[in-house]
Amino acid sequence: MRKKVVFGLLIVAVLVSIYPEIRESRFGSCVAYALGGLRDVASERSQRFLGKVSEDTARCRGGEAAVAWRKTPWIDWPQYWSAGGEQSRFSGVVSGFDILSPNTRGINGALLDLEYQRMELIKFNLFDNHGAYEEYFRGLSGTSGRLANTWPQLRLPTEHALFAAAGGNGPQKCSGEMIRFRTLTGICNDILNPLMGSVDQPFARNVEFESTFPEISPDEVVKNRHGDRLGLLKPDPQLISRKLFTRRQLSPDNCNDGEGPAGHSLEVNCDYHKANHINVLAAFWIQFMTHDWFSHLEEGRNQAGTIPLGCAMQRIDNVEQRLTQDQVADFRCRPEDRIDKSLVAHEAPAPSFAVNGKQRLARAPKTTLNTVTAWWDASQIYGYNEISQRRVKRDARDSAKLLLEATSASAAGQPGYLPLLQSSDPQNPQWAGQEAVAFPDNWNIGLSFFHNVFAREHNYFVDAFRRQAAAHPDADSGLRDPAQPTKSIRNKDVTDTELFEITRLVVAAEIAKIHTIEWTTQMLYNEPLHLAMNANWSGLLQEHPLAGAALEEIVQRFAGSADGKKSTAWYSAFAAGPGIFGLGNGKSDVNGGVHHFGSPFNFSEEFINAYRLHPMVPDVIEFRDLRRDPNTVAAKIAVVNTVRGKATDAMRQRGIADWALSLGRQRGGALGLRNHPLFLQNLAMPRIKSSTGKVDVLALDIIRDRERGMPRYNEFRRQYGLKQLTRFDDFIDPRLPKESPRRAEQQELVAQLREIYGQHRCDAAKIITRSQRSDDRGEINDCLGNPDGTMVDNIEDVDSLVGWLAEFVRPHGFAISETQFQVFVLNASRRLFSDRFLTSSFRPEFYTHFGVKWVNENGPEGKRMEKGNPNGHEMEVSPLKQVLLRTIPELKAELDPVINVFDPWARDRGEYYSLQWKPRPGAETDAAFKAK
Ligand code: HEM
């Protein structure tokens, strides 16, 4: 029988290769694709997958539309069957075997492509700035670099108070109290690398060091790429902001740069491009997250000394010219704006090492420090150093709790609000009057909302723990003291100090879960990403725990393998089976589940670039009143009137429930060009004593990226394993009909890009990159496929932020671009893989039995399921919905139909990943559905 099957397959293979008509059928393509087997992970950077598949593979997974898409620079999988909305599902006759159906092939193919991308990202995009890179690089060709898991650079220094306790000058290993809970400064998360992820460690890079700081690079290839066209203020950042970022207004007076007409806040109206499936909570959530993960500023400040932000030059007919006063007035930019320079850790020439006669940089030419912990440890709430911790207020009546104060807006019997910063608290003067939290910078109503919610959740957990402890005082809590690991700690013996720290662990893990399976799946709203993100968290084999456990065994063997390929690429691929969260928590080694893939963990500078998501914020919030009529907009409130200290009154007078309703119902801003908040172009910046007193934060976004050496867009894409663009017109969505208004709009923006970044006469003798090859495998030169000596677009000079905002082509349901997504694929996986408390130390010894159950089941009530099958899945009541139901119970009726808290609350989610803007039953009168 087996022989017959093999023989049959051989015949089919021969027929497929002889007769093109069979091969070009879906059947033939699938056979050819299947016989081709799995591709190897690239052995060299320039041979990467690029998200582009063969013609057979494309046809088999997505039909002719997917085949046609191969010509574009954009990744292929979004064109596969079922990877988009309803229209992407195969509607013809489907085989009886689900596994062979086009829809299944499409989804599995997409997941496979995503996994290849991740394996290659792990292989090619880890660049450590602590000084461990040389060893890593040398080991890449063998095995040792990728197998390294302890680094001398991450030892506690002699002056550290815990130096001796960690092992002093001998081998260092954290133990005892140092490993029980998340530490304030983030040390000892990895027991063997005490400093990893702790405060003030250097940001990593995801791109070759040689590709960073293109403005000052001595590298011939980089010079070939950009000529002398780049500088900190070249092209002019404020001009980029005004021409490419400004939201266009139908009635500018009603908006008044985001402030509304003076004294008439009800009339304020600012137009913006709205994302149908993302609400304003999603915008502030991500700001809340970034404050946990990274910061470049110290206590809200940068270096002493200021720099200008442009509004000086513009390119006319390809020549840079000084702006006249009239032009300055026309553009409404401000030449006198100033900002403090970015902090820098190292700027002495970077050390280098020789490989095969060529020098390689051992770190980036300049480095900066992450001034908060890189762990997902809720440090924005609890603190990351001694100074920030002094702002965090504990309840004097119960030290396990955070302090919340009753105010006039607190509902009877409900928790109150965060207390305010006291004059004795460490603070930057511009934070005066704000609520007291560890990370207070760029404060606003949305941050106030999430900080209040999770302070309430903290206290709710403490009360719930105490209730179950009172019911079962002698039961084993699960908690262990590492000094006496075999002695069980009874519920009644858990101290207040321990309970505070357990609660921090639980709250941080809940936040990580919300972000992974709720925020991200809504921002990337399609089936492959729903599956991929849930796989990251709880595995693809949730319904098959035995298979999951078996696979976890295999994954752990890969981790210990002496073969670099198995210990990295295979490890990451197979981890999707059991899931990354909790990986290794069944083993005795509490550190045994972490995996750094040979390179110490910290976020990269590129990750910060990808999180410059300011367009998600509207200028004006449509305020609603829960008790009157949730469908009516009762007031319009300029966001700028809720910024910094102004958030306090807004929150306390109007109340958290109405803010939840308002931010939950309103659509967030779409991430694209000409959609930045106007108020951020004109933000008051009192700490800088400039004559304008203001700063254009959007121009600052561009400047900060340049200060930190972001490669410009096209090389950024190549470095991340994505296909380069060859001209500005590549941004235009090729599927749009010639005469469509959207195409016209995109063409107009492309013309603006050309005006700002310009063109040059190309020289085919100049090689401009080593990180990618052209389609014919040749070296890529300055002409990018155009005839030598012709005028070509300066596509190489486009700032990364501008480039990814200009990606009009997006996978279905993607609020972000594919370029940003690539950054997230790598870093989002790493921040789970590397964190002991989200892998092997997610266990009762640290979290207690009660805490583990709380995280797994989204609270104390046990698993609850939503009605129906949203997008074809049985869905648990989402973790953030459960948090909101506990902390703001007034929202019960409003939240009842909500499946994902980051989807506008009154939107009808419709069928299979619908993006339509339609009211759900009961919200038909909501004015938001009438307005354009
Ligand atoms: C009212 C809302 C907001 C205000 C007033 C604000 C203000 C600012 C300012 C002034 C900076 C520049 C700091 C500097 O480099 O000197 C900044 C940076 C930044 N903002 Fe915002 N922002 C807001 C909302 C958001 C949101 C919703 C996001 C979404 C993720 C975000 C992400 C970032 C990031 C990633 C940076 C760079 C941080 C770093 O360099 O470490 N911001 N913001």
pLDDT tens per residue, range 872-890: 999 999 999 999 999 999 9
Q: Residue-wise over 342-356: b if at least 16 C-beta within 10 A, else e?
A: beeeeeeebeeeeee
To test the pocket of ligand 1, the residue of 442, 603, 679 to mutate (highest count of ligand atoms within 8 Å of its CB) is 442
Please calculate the CA angle 307-312-316 and round it to the nearest 5 degrees. Answer: 145
pLDDT at 13: 44
Residue 1 has pLDDT above 70, yes or no: no
Cβ–Cβ under 8 Å, residues 311 and 238 = yes
Cα 612 to middle of ligand 1, angstroms? 7
Cβ–Cβ under 8 Å, residues 258 and 620 = yes
Q: What is the mean pLDDT of residues 690-695?
A: 96
Cβ–Cβ under 8 Å, residues 380 and 504 = no
pLDDT, tens digit, for every residue of 312-325? 999 998 899 999 99
Closest atom, ligand 1, to C-alpha of 297 = 41
Cβ–Cβ under 8 Å, residues 582 and 839 = yes
Which sign, positive or negative, has the C-alpha torsion 151, 152, 158, 159?
negative
Residue 831 has pLDDT above 70, yes or no: yes
pLDDT at 790: 98
pLDDT at 11: 44
Local confidence band at 7 (pLDDT 50, 70, 90 cut-offs)? very low
Count other C-beta atoms under 10 Å from residue 738's C-beta: 6
pLDDT at 586: 85
Hey, whose CA ends up nearest to atom 11 of ligand 1?
697
The answer for residues whose C-beta is within 8 angstroms of residue 163's C-beta and 6 or more apart is 156, 157
pLDDT at 553: 62
Cα 286 to middle of ligand 1, angstroms? 10
The answer for residues whose C-beta is within 8 angstroms of residue 194's C-beta and 6 or more apart is 154, 155, 156, 162, 166, 172, 174, 178, 187, 188
Local confidence band at 23 (pLDDT 50, 70, 90 cut-offs)? low
Hey, whose CA ends up nearest to atom 8 of ligand 1?
442
> How far is residue 277's CA from residue 817's CA, in Å, rounded to a whole number?
15
Cα 663 to middle of ligand 1, angstroms? 19
Local confidence band at 10 (pLDDT 50, 70, 90 cut-offs)? very low
Closest atom, ligand 1, to C-alpha of 289 = 30
> How far is residue 59's CA from residue 76's CA, in Å, rounded to a whole number?
11
Count other C-beta atoms under 10 Å from residue 477's C-beta: 26
Query: What is the DSSP code (8-state) at residue 506?
Result: H
To test the pocket of ligand 1, the residue of 290, 676, 683 to mutate (highest count of ligand atoms within 8 Å of its CB) is 290
The answer for residues whose C-beta is within 8 angstroms of residue 585's C-beta and 6 or more apart is 593, 839, 840, 841, 842, 843
Cα 231 to middle of ligand 1, angstroms? 23
Hey, whose CA ends up nearest to atom 4 of ligand 1?
442
Hey, whose CA ends up nearest to atom 38 of ligand 1?
295
Hey, whose CA ends up nearest to atom 10 of ligand 1?
697
Cα 392 to middle of ligand 1, angstroms? 22
Closest atom, ligand 1, to C-alpha of 695 = 10
Q: What is the mean pLDDT of residues 355-376?
A: 96
> How far is residue 367's CA from residue 58's CA, in Å, rounded to a whole number?
42
Cα 753 to middle of ligand 1, angstroms? 24
Closest atom, ligand 1, to C-alpha of 339 = 16
Hey, whose CA ends up nearest to atom 19 of ligand 1?
612
Closest atom, ligand 1, to C-alpha of 294 = 41
User: Among 21-25, 840-844, 848-852, whose mean pLDDT is lowest?
Assistant: 21-25
pLDDT at 550: 55
Cα 701 to middle of ligand 1, angstroms? 8
Q: What is the mean pLDDT of residues 901-919?
A: 97
To test the pocket of ligand 1, the residue of 232, 339, 697 to mutate (highest count of ligand atoms within 8 Å of its CB) is 697
> How far is residue 905's CA from residue 923's CA, in Å, rounded to a whole number?
10
Backbone dihedral region for residue 848 (phi beyond 0: left; psi -120 to 50: alpha; all else: beta):
left
Q: Compute the chain's Rg from CA coordinates.
A: 27
pLDDT at 921: 96
pLDDT at 85: 97
Local confidence band at 633 (pLDDT 50, 70, 90 cut-offs)? very high
pLDDT, tens digit, for every residue of 39-56? 788 889 999 999 999 999
The first and second tokens of residue 85, run together, are 């909305």
The first and second tokens of residue 914, run together, are 């619908």
Closest atom, ligand 1, to C-alpha of 290 = 30
User: Comparing C-alpha atoms, which of 148, 117, 143, 147 is closest to residue 51?
Assistant: 117
Cα 674 to middle of ligand 1, angstroms? 18
Closest atom, ligand 1, to C-alpha of 444 = 1
pLDDT, tens digit, for every residue of 81-105? 999 999 999 987 665 556 678 999 9
Local confidence band at 738 (pLDDT 50, 70, 90 cut-offs)? very high
More confident residue, 564 or 402: 402
Count other C-beta atoms under 10 Å from residue 804's C-beta: 25
Q: Residue-wise over 687-715: b if at least 16 C-beta within 10 A, else e?
A: ebebebebbbbbbbbbbbbbbbbbbbbbb
Cα 445 to middle of ligand 1, angstroms? 14
Residue 12 has pLDDT above 50, yes or no: no
Local confidence band at 582 (pLDDT 50, 70, 90 cut-offs)? confident
Residue 143 has pLDDT above 80, yes or no: no
To test the pocket of ligand 1, the residue of 272, 281, 287 to mutate (highest count of ligand atoms within 8 Å of its CB) is 287
Q: How far is CA 626 from CA 631, 632, 755, 923, in A?
A: 9, 9, 48, 13
**E strand or H helix at 628, and its extent?**
none
pLDDT at 265: 74
> How far is residue 720's CA from residue 718's CA, in Å, rounded to a whole number?
5
Local confidence band at 261 (pLDDT 50, 70, 90 cut-offs)? confident
Local confidence band at 575 (pLDDT 50, 70, 90 cut-offs)? low
Hey, whose CA ends up nearest to atom 22 of ligand 1?
442
pLDDT at 9: 46
Residue 748 CA to chain centroid, in angstroms? 30
What residues are paired with 394 via a beta bridge? Answer: 402
Cβ–Cβ under 8 Å, residues 389 and 383 = yes
At 726, phi and psi to the nearest 5?
-115, -10
Cα 564 to middle of ligand 1, angstroms? 39
Residue 353 has pLDDT above 70, yes or no: yes
Cα 380 to middle of ligand 1, angstroms? 14
> How far is residue 184's CA from residue 316's CA, in Å, rounded to a whole number?
53
Cβ–Cβ under 8 Å, residues 21 and 37 = no
Q: What is the mean pLDDT of residues 9-37?
A: 58
Q: How far is CA 661 from CA 200, 506, 720, 859, in A?
A: 38, 26, 39, 22
Residue with tokens 């990744």: 75
What residues are paired with 701 via a beta bridge? Answer: none
Q: Residue-wise over 148-184: b if at least 16 C-beta within 10 A, else e?
A: bbbbebbbbeeeeebbebbbeeeebbbeeebbbbbbb
> How far is residue 845's CA from residue 843's CA, in Å, rounded to a whole number?
6
Backbone dihedral region for residue 256 (phi beyond 0: left; psi -120 to 50: alpha; all else: beta):
left
Hey, whose CA ends up nearest to atom 43 of ligand 1?
442
At 619, phi and psi to the nearest 5?
-85, -30
Hey, whose CA ends up nearest to atom 15 of ligand 1?
704
Closest atom, ligand 1, to C-alpha of 644 = 5
Closest atom, ligand 1, to C-alpha of 296 = 41
> How far is residue 623's CA from residue 610's CA, in Å, rounded to a whole number?
30
pLDDT at 537: 87
Residue 695 has pLDDT above 50, yes or no: yes
Cα 291 to middle of ligand 1, angstroms? 9
Closest atom, ligand 1, to C-alpha of 639 = 1
Entry field: residues in the chain: 932
Hey, whose CA ends up nearest to atom 32 of ligand 1?
612
Hey, whose CA ends up nearest to atom 5 of ligand 1?
442
pLDDT, tens digit, for every residue of 584-599? 888 889 999 999 999 9
Cα 462 to middle of ligand 1, angstroms? 32
The first and second tokens of residue 597, run together, are 């893939």
> How far is residue 337's CA from residue 358's CA, in Å, rounded to a whole number?
44
> How far is residue 762's CA from residue 759's CA, in Å, rounded to a whole number?
9
pLDDT at 413: 77
End-to-end CA distance of the chain: 64
Cα 676 to middle of ligand 1, angstroms? 12
User: Comparing C-alpha atoms, which of 761, 871, 806, 55 is closest to residue 524?
Assistant: 871
Hey, whose CA ends up nearest to atom 30 of ligand 1?
287
- The three-state secondary structure class of 640 is helix
Which sign, positive or negative, has the C-alpha torsion 331, 244, 296, 838?
positive
Residue 569 has pLDDT above 70, yes or no: no
Burial class (CB in 10 A: 0-12, 13-18, 19+), 869: exposed
Q: What is the mean pLDDT of residues 374-400?
A: 98
Closest atom, ligand 1, to C-alpha of 616 = 27
To test the pocket of ligand 1, the residue of 270, 430, 444, 614 to mutate (highest count of ligand atoms within 8 Å of its CB) is 614
Residue 617 has pLDDT above 60, yes or no: yes
> How far is residue 831's CA from residue 499's CA, in Å, rounded to a whole number?
25
Q: What residues does ligand 1 touch, defined as CB less than 6 Å away?
A: 283-284, 286-287, 290, 294-297, 302, 442, 444, 608, 611-614, 616-617, 639, 643, 683, 697, 700, 704
Query: What is the DSSP code (8-state) at residue 727?
Result: S
Local confidence band at 30 (pLDDT 50, 70, 90 cut-offs)? confident
Cα 927 to middle of ligand 1, angstroms? 31
Cα 290 to middle of ligand 1, angstroms? 9
Cβ–Cβ under 8 Å, residues 23 and 56 = yes
Cβ–Cβ under 8 Å, residues 261 and 267 = yes
pLDDT at 545: 55
Cβ–Cβ under 8 Å, residues 853 and 612 = no
Q: Residues of the chain with pLDDT > 90: what percent?
A: 83
Q: What is the mean pLDDT of residues 137-159?
A: 83
Residue 18 has pLDDT above 50, yes or no: no
At CB < 8 A and 24+ separation, what contacts does 39-46 make? 39/116, 41/116, 41/119, 41/120, 41/123, 41/565, 41/569, 42/120, 42/123, 42/124, 45/124, 45/770, 45/771, 45/772, 46/770, 46/771, 46/772, 46/773
> How far is residue 118's CA from residue 51's CA, in Å, rounded to a whole number?
11
> How far is residue 26's CA from residue 31's CA, in Å, rounded to a whole number?
9
Q: What is the mean pLDDT of residues 425-449?
A: 97
